[in-house]
């Protein structure tokens, strides 16, 4: 009887240790999936034009994400657009970007899975009344030292 009680006690201790270890690993993983920093990717040009270099600057506070998307505007000058509705849940990032061209608003909904130095997901938008989506994959940029 004593051997059974001792065996049960040891099994319980081992189980609790495993639960704590898994909890710690989940917390470390969640912290490593933070999208804070500067990200970049290349998007195909319009109508066969040259590729467009995109830059995304992000900052998280809890599950809220703020930042800007910098993209080439007409004439090639960079245009900064604030992101809206930014959220981070586990390793899933979502936000929207609203731009205006010639009085017309275009809303793009971004979602992506954040890994250490990559965000990979989809951009959803409407063009000419048709719902469309495009894959995107951003790589984390190393910050320039001053």
For residue 136, give the CATH number of its domain: 2.40.128.30
Same domain, 65 and 18: no
Residue 128 lies in a domain: yes
pLDDT at 47: 78
Same domain, 45 and 73: yes
If one counts the domains in the chain, the total is 2
Same domain, 40 and 27: no
Q: Which domain holds residue 22?
A: 1-32
Residue 145 lies in a domain: no
Instruction: Report the C-alpha gap between 126 and 6 in whole angstroms.
Output: 65
Same domain, 21 and 44: no
Residue 109 lies in a domain: yes
Q: What is the token pair recorded at 21?
A: 């270890």
Q: At 49, is the secondary structure helix, strand, or coil?
A: coil
Same domain, 71 and 105: yes
Whole-angstrom CA distances from 78 to 48, 68, 72 are 20, 12, 4
pLDDT at 65: 97
Q: What is the token pair recorded at 132?
A: 């469309």
Same domain, 40 and 20: no
Residue 1 lies in a domain: yes
What is the DSSP secondary-structure string of 49-81? Answer: ---EEEEEEEEEETTEEEEEEEEE-GGG-EEEE
What is the DSSP secondary-structure string of 31-42? Answer: HHT---EEEEEE
pLDDT at 1: 61
Same domain, 110 and 121: yes
Same domain, 28 and 95: no
Across the 146 residues of the chain, what is the mean pLDDT of every consecutive 10-residue run? Answer: 62 52 46 83 84 94 96 86 96 95 89 95 92 95 61
Residue 43 lies in a domain: yes
pTM: 0.73
Residue 89 lies in a domain: yes
pLDDT at 12: 52
Same domain, 72 and 6: no
């Amino acid at each position: 009887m004593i051997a059974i009680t001792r065996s049960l006690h040891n099994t319980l201790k081992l189980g609790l240790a495993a639960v704590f270890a898994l909890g710690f690993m989940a917390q470390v993983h969640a912290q490593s999936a933070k999208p804070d920093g500067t990200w970049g990717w290349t998007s195909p040009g319009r109508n066969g034009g040259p590729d467009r270099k995109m830059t995304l600057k992000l900052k998280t506070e809890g599950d809220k994400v703020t930042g800007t998307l910098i993209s080439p505007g007409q004439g090639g000058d960079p245009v900064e657009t604030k992101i809206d509705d930014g959220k981070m849940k586990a390793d899933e990032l979502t936000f929207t970007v609203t731009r205006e061209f010639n009085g017309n608003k275009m809303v793009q909904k971004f979602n992506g899975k954040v890994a250490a130095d990559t965000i990979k997901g989809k951009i959803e938008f409407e063009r000419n009344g048709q719902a469309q989506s495009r894959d995107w994959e951003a790589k984390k940029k190393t910050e320039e030292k001053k």
